[in-house]
Amino acid sequence: CRPRLPTPPAFDCCEVVFPLLPPAMLPELRRSLAHLPRTKVATTRAVILLQHMACSSSPSNRSGSGFSNSRSTPGVQNCGGTLFSSGCSQQQRGKSTAVDVRTDVEKPSQDYRKYAYTTLPNEMQVMVVSDDQCDRAAAALSVGVGSLKDPKEIQGLAHFCEHMLFLGTEKYPQEDGYNEHLARNGGGSNAYTAETVTNYFFGVKPDALGSSLDRFSQFFISPLFTESATDRELQAVDSEHSKNLQNDAWRQSQLLRSSVNPEHPLNHFMTGNSETLRDQPAREGVDVRAGLLKFHNEYYSANLMKLALVGRESPDELLEMARHFFADVPNRNAPDPNAGLGDGIEAFTPEQRGRVLHIVPVNDIKMASFQFIIPGQKDEWKSKPTNYLGHILGHEGTGSLLAALKKRGLATELSAGTSHDEAGVAIFAVNIMLTEAGVADIDSVGDLVFAQIRQLREAGVDERLWHEMKVLSDMGFKFAALPDSQSTASNIAHGLQEFEPPVVLSAYSKLWEYKPEKIQQLCELLTCDNFRLLLKCKSYADVCDQQERWYGTRFSDKPLDAALRSRWETAGGFDDLSMPTPNPFIPDRLDMKPPEAPTQSPNPEQLSMIASRSPSKAPTTVFFRKDETFGLPKVTCAMQIYAPFCSESTESRMIGELWCMAVQEELNEFSYDSKVAGLNYSISSASMGMLVNFSGYNDKLEVLMQAVADKMVAMSEVSESTFNLVKTIAERNLLNSATRSTPYHQAFAAEQLWLRTPACSFQERLDTVRGITREQLNDANRKMLDKCHVECLLQGNITTQESKALIANFVDHLKVKEPLESIPPAGYLQMPLGWTLLERPGTNAEETNGATIVRLEAGDYSKENKCMVGLASQVLSQKFFDELRTKQQLGYIVSAGHFADPFGFVGLRLLVQSEKSPREVLDSIQNWTTDAWEFIDGLKDEDFEEYRAALVSQLTERPKSLREEFGWNWAEVATRNFEFGNRFVEADYVKTVSLAQFKTYVKENLKTARAAAFLIWPECLSKDDAAANDDYLKKFDRVLSKEDLPAQREAGSWKMRNSEILPDPSSNTPISHL
């Protein structure tokens, strides 16, 4: 112990040096020191910081766990050791002392975490979040530069730089070292490039935060940007662009940018591809790698960076970690690259406004987007005037624009709000999903849009409505669920680029200032002279005479017809348009129910419903857990209504789906207020029956549940208008799923169609829906409800008796006549021995990507098997990604993971979406599996222990919100497994698995697994030529065509899900399967 002068007064500093310790001993050492009286070494304000310093002086070999020290510490020889420091003098660390640290961060009421922020000597701003309950630490670093600063000659450079930063540093040159380290410690990482921000983030088990930060910080200190990695990662960027080519959202976003004034910075290609990052620069003599280095040196400066850390450590410890690892990030005093972007340049010139763009979409989309050009709104974050406009124009209740459009059969859906806000310009859009009638009569659609705008403008700002919005926004923030640690870090790092630290959590959500003049000013800009109308429909193909350069989107761009402009400018006089009325669903009571017992089970318990059920009512299985963890006045409830009618045929299933959609449509004007007030519901149907969900504030839950139950019982007939609307939506959605799904989703569908029951394809469902008439929906409610069984999970701020009464009342209203004796069957087919090949043509002729999925079935579903394949996934997933994505560059979408189908089978699933031949990809996957088994065979004990600990860390993570906890528990109810808390049981089992057991399992179960390959071929690659290669097909034990599947399903061995009805807890009836 070596005392120093207090800095500031009364703040004692000391250092304690220990010999180099193995990482496994650090937690024990921390615990041992925790009970020592701190007054003997420092004042109560001092904080002991544990740092594990690497012993090696060679940067390339500093790969130890904990904190690897890359620079000398004053007063301590940098020869390796464990350093405890209670503080640092100002001379030692610059200006970041306790005096500079602030904690005034506004946070939700139940956010128990401690926040602190400061600025490092290199001007990097840091915010830390201390969470003593944290079971997953996280970090994020944002850089205040994005794609808007791409050089014109190398578009996509910011995005390319984001990719390259992960591929090795001077201290850790191994390309996959960072992600492999995270994989060994139960973590993962990601990053994104926006137009003005680039954000990097990761999550990891808490004990590995320091060692992960050591690697992470080096990205911003000494990245390598090697030539070989540059060439290969360029292919990854191109593959990422390729996967987006058939995505309508990406296409519309780029069309907006490409149609902006060429002099404005928004006119750019955001993601980049091989043309902009290789071919064009090569033709023009531009060195892309030199440009990459220049971009990094110019903008990756500490003064443009915002760092966020989340961990178990105290705020002072976390701040010291930030200083330790990020103090060496160079500060180049870079000017703000986003300052003045677009100043003095119109994003859309007068000639570019008042235009109509017809667009041919990829999917079956019929949409009108009324896009109004307004000034940038980022400076108005306290008043958010566009929120007021969006609330009124996007309302769905009685008197709303959407209700009027639906009444006339012109539209099915509508949304309104700011869709883009960068470089001094924003787009306020009213997006309307049209019917065929709406496409044919866009003039009438515009009449209603501009009539509503005119009414809004003339009515002036309604202060009551604004205050209602403020109450809801305040309430939404106050009772917000806590995001997970990685999302927390990422959101903070990004938010600090836009907001001051005290409001970084609340700025996006809350309303502070009532500025009616700002709202009125925006109303005056919602005119025909200041908008662009985007019309999307496949029927516009004949009129679209232009093609966007980067995505190939076909479009036309013409001025708005003068007569139509005049008509819309004077539109009005619609009696069914009105302003929103007061919201009756705003909660009156937000208090928490008192605890019901001194101790509470961590898992839901089945309630006895016998006393709550009338003699005529079908049995209801209810699981309940009162929330004593998250402290929010909210409830989440799900009810699975098992109805044999839905399992009878594809037609009966689709009748059920259309009827459920009709119920939601009929209730939409009523329930929209509840949605705005934070209380949601949904009703849907599938092959097993119906699923009804409720979630939100508990105060008005009973009112909403009563209304839904009443509608379900009353709607024995569906009106013509409602039927036409829901059938239009269903056909559109099914057509897009059947013909425009991504290749890897098509491969998943092929797998499920072979191996699951019940199962039917999107095309089968589409063909069936097209033939259903309105009359077939008559009495559909009774066909589903007369004979059914309800299984329910309810959690949140509600008592046991209230839960019983709520569910009993809901089910009683359904008027169930006959109980079920068993649940409709469902199960999984065991794959045959050996290798099976299934090849299918892709359904989208314009898609250039194919997909390959390999399924390795290791055994029956059991705790032991599930844990073993989970371990295999933990060991191999990053290696699969590194080899096939990073090294071989087969495609952008590359993943390996395990599957575990309750009452079915477990195994590994390997996926690649690629522009290369699916058979070529399959060969690479098969070759990789050979190497993978050899790697596991040579695995050392110390490496295995890291992977095992990482999996245990993931399995023992606690839910971060009521929604997440409910999701875990509902999975047990929905699969009828009913093994609540099984994650912790599995974690206990994983702890017992030895390396020898694991190797034996891999050898006996995975190396010889039943295997199947599902290949989706794009039309641009000739499967017919490949199919002629008989030698290739000889590698497989069987090749199955689509026509072979029925016989395979008929002859195969099935494992069926438990179908017994659970007895009431008070009945003392045994359950055989348990």
- The mean pLDDT value for 869-888 works out to 96
pLDDT tens track for 279-291? 999 999 999 999 9
Task: Report pLDDT for 1026.
Answer: 53
Q: Is the pLDDT of residue 91 over 50?
A: no
CA–CA separation, 829 vs 841, rounded Å?
Answer: 24
Q: Tell me the two tokens of residue 243.
A: 């996967």
Q: Is the pLDDT of residue 88 over 90?
A: no
**Considering the chain, what percentage of its residues have pLDDT values greater than 90?**
84
- The mean pLDDT value for 1045-1059 works out to 93
List 15, 162, 313, 915, catalytic entry: 162
Average pLDDT of the chain to the nearest whole number: 89
- The mean pLDDT value for 809-822 works out to 91
Cβ-based neighbour number of residue 663 at 10 Å: 24
Q: Is the pLDDT of residue 42 over 50?
A: no
Task: Report pLDDT for 669.
Answer: 96
Give the containing element (helix H, strand E) for 1040.
strand 1038-1040
Plot region of 696 (φ>0 → left; ψ -120 to 50 → alpha; else → beta): left
Q: Tell me the two tokens of residue 545.
A: 């005479």
Task: Report pLDDT for 210.
Answer: 97
User: pLDDT band at residue 1058, thresholds of 50, 70 and 90?
Assistant: confident
Q: Tell me the two tokens of residue 381.
A: 């974050």
Give the containing element (helix H, strand E) for 467.
helix 463-478
Task: Report pLDDT for 100.
Answer: 86
Task: Report pLDDT for 1065.
Answer: 84
CA–CA separation, 719 vs 658, rounded Å?
Answer: 12
Q: Is the pLDDT of residue 1070 over 90?
A: no
Q: Is the pLDDT of residue 701 over 70?
A: yes
Q: Is the pLDDT of residue 826 over 50?
A: yes
DSSP for 294-312? Answer: HHHHHH--GGGEEEEEEES
Task: Report pLDDT for 600.
Answer: 77
Task: Name which of 447, 444, 437, 367 is nearest 409 in CA terms.
Answer: 437
Question: Which amino acid, residue 869?
Answer: V
Task: Name which of 358, 307, 374 is nearest 96 in CA terms.
Answer: 307
pLDDT tens track for 101-120? 999 999 999 999 999 999 99
Q: Give the highest mean pLDDT range of 46-50, 89-93, 815-819, 988-992.
A: 988-992
Q: Looking at 50-64, 510-524, 808-822, 831-845, which range is the least confident one?
A: 50-64
Q: Is the pLDDT of residue 59 over 90?
A: no
CA–CA separation, 171 vs 189, rounded Å?
Answer: 19
Residue with the bigger pLDDT between 23 and 561: it is 561
Residues with Cβ within 8 Å of residue 407, at least 6 apart in sequence: 576, 721
CA–CA separation, 730 vs 294, rounded Å?
Answer: 51
Q: Are 446 and 571 in contact (CB under 8 A)?
A: yes
User: pLDDT band at residue 86, thresholds of 50, 70 and 90?
Assistant: very low
Altogether, the residues listed in the chain come to a count of: 1074
DSSP lists the bridge partners of residue 620 as: 790
Task: Name which of 328, 243, 282, 263 is nearest 68 in CA terms.
Answer: 328
DSSP for 15-79? Answer: EEEE----GGGHHHHHHHHHTS-GGGTS-TT----EEEE-----GGG---SSPPP-SPBTTB-SS
**Could you tell me the pTM of the whole model?**
0.88
Give the containing element (helix H, strand E) for 463.
helix 463-478
3-class SS at 527?
Answer: coil
pLDDT tens track for 920-951? 999 999 999 999 999 999 999 999 999 999 99
Task: Report pLDDT for 618.
Answer: 57
Spell out the SS3 assignment of 880-916: HHHHHHHHCCCCCEEEEEEEECCCCEEEEEEEEEECC
Q: Are 412 and 724 in contact (CB under 8 A)?
A: no
CA–CA separation, 1059 vs 309, rounded Å?
Answer: 47
Tokens 């560059």 locate to 889
Q: Looking at 15-19, 212-216, 507-511, 980-984, which range is the least confident one?
A: 15-19
Task: Report pLDDT for 597.
Answer: 80
Task: Report pLDDT for 601.
Answer: 83
Task: Report pLDDT for 31.
Answer: 43
Task: Name which of 610, 750, 744, 695 is nearest 1018 in CA terms.
Answer: 744
- The mean pLDDT value for 173-182 works out to 94
Task: Report pLDDT for 598.
Answer: 75
359 vs 15, 253, 445, 681, CA distance in Å? 67, 12, 18, 34
> % helix / strand / coil in the chain, to the nearest 5?
45, 20, 40
DSSP lists the bridge partners of residue 819 as: 788
551 vs 219, 225, 247, 363, 1017, CA distance in Å? 32, 28, 9, 14, 21
Q: Looking at 398-402, 536-540, 616-620, 759-763, which range is the least confident one?
A: 616-620
Angle between helices 863-881 and 982-992 (to 10 degrees): 80
Q: Is 162 a catalytic residue?
A: yes
Task: Report pLDDT for 617.
Answer: 53
DSSP 8-state class, residue 262: T
